[in-house]
Amino acid sequence: MTRILITPGEPSGVGPDLIVRLAQERLARSPIVVADPDLLRERAQRLGLPLRVELVEAGTRHPEQQHHIGHLRVLPVRLTQPVVPGQLHQAHAPYVMDSLRIACDACLDGRGDALVTGPVHKGIINDAGLRFTGHTEFLAERCGAEPLMMLVTPGLRVALATTHLPLRDVSAAITRTHLTRALEILHTDLRSRFGITDPRILVCGLNPHAGEGGHLGREEIEVIEPVLTALRARGWSLIGPLPADTAFVPNRLAESDVVLAMYHDQGLPVLKHLGFGQAVNVTLGLPIIRTSVDHGTALALAGTDRADLGSVRAALSLANAMVDGVQPASVQAAL
């Protein structure tokens, strides 16, 4: 009775295109899309693809079904403003947020087993007067949990000690308490969600050269090293803190299961260079399973068939695998 829920994200972006095109493929099970059914029908028509929509009722339990090509089960959320592909509109922001709330709550109350999210446009949501930092923070608040963002691509996992923060705020956010909790979430979920008995975690320093013995910053000496020492006393396998510019070399990655970067753009450029279009964003620390694409709304590609399906395929595959407790072929090397 496994049910995977999908939110396509920003309606004027490529999210609806990806879902409609994904419906044309052979899928392991039939997902439930939380979206406006008319939006999906319009986008299918624009792309010249067949689509049969089956509406599912909100608040009810939906059994797992075999997927039929060109068919989508849709839990309807209605738009109040017409959508033009590629053109953002503030009136769409409440729809995006409602879709996320409905899908998250369905997973929390057992009507869904995992959530796959499409790309949203944070700027237009905030311009509409709605507070939104990102999926990770929104879902954590909704679930009453502490989040940890991790991206997965074949051959590499990268988790983030901090997520969507201005660079000037990163150092103050990395306290001993925060870093300890981030490592605890990472260690726990690698064991429970990914089946790694003794996770080997490589931890980056914050500063160039990991602080150069305090000459380029003291965060490594005062925060990161004491935390790692304390957690090693629990028997954990922790490497670092290492300079970020040499943490991602092949021999280092070969001896680790995951890299913990201190901030967003310290670790993700490496991962996206290696696997952009095939990477999956996973939110750890939640009571629900959540995966997502690794790319943005790609407004210029909306309403065309030029957006790459690789990341949404991988996100759906990983969500199914995490529910089933198996390793998907699409990210086998990273699991």
Q: Which residues are annotated as a binding site for substrate?
A: 135-136, 272, 281, 290
Q: Which amino acid is it at 130? A: L
Binding-site residues from annotation for a divalent metal cation: 164, 209, 264
- Give the three-class secondary structure for 230: helix
324 Ramachandran zone, left/alpha/beta (phi>0; psi -120 to 50) = alpha
Binding-site residues from annotation: 135-136, 164, 209, 264, 272, 281, 290
The DSSP annotation for 156-206 comes to EEEEESS-S--HHHHHHH--HHHHHHHHHHHHHHHHHTT--SS-EEEEE-S
> In the chain, what is the straight-line distance between the N-terminal and C-terminal CA atoms, in Å?
24
Among 51, 48, 57, CA closest to 71: 51
Determine how β-strand 200-204 pairs with β-strand 52-55: unpaired
